[in-house]
Amino acid sequence: MCMDAHVHEAIKAGISPQGVQSTIRIAAVINALAQALFVGQ
């Protein structure tokens, strides 16, 4: 529900749906990398 609200506000502010999707994808990759580095310790 929170993600939907943030996506809606970003699109309303003029960010394209593709821009929102790309941003979420980059954040997911960064998060996965951080988790992998943490587990590797």
User: Whose structure tokens read 């790309």?
Assistant: 22
Q: Give the span between the Cα atoms of 39 and 36, in whole angstroms.
A: 5
Q: Are 20 and 10 in contact (CB under 8 A)?
A: yes
At 23 the pLDDT is: 95
Tokens at 24, concatenated: 């979420």
User: Whose structure tokens read 């929170």?
Assistant: 2
At 14 the pLDDT is: 97
At 41 the pLDDT is: 73
Q: Give the span between the Cα atoms of 10 and 17, in whole angstroms.
A: 9
Task: Give tens-digit pLDDT for 1-41.
Answer: 898 999 999 999 999 999 999 999 999 999 999 999 998 77
To the question of pTM greater than 0.75 for the whole model, the response is: no
Domain boundaries along the sequence of the chain: 2-39
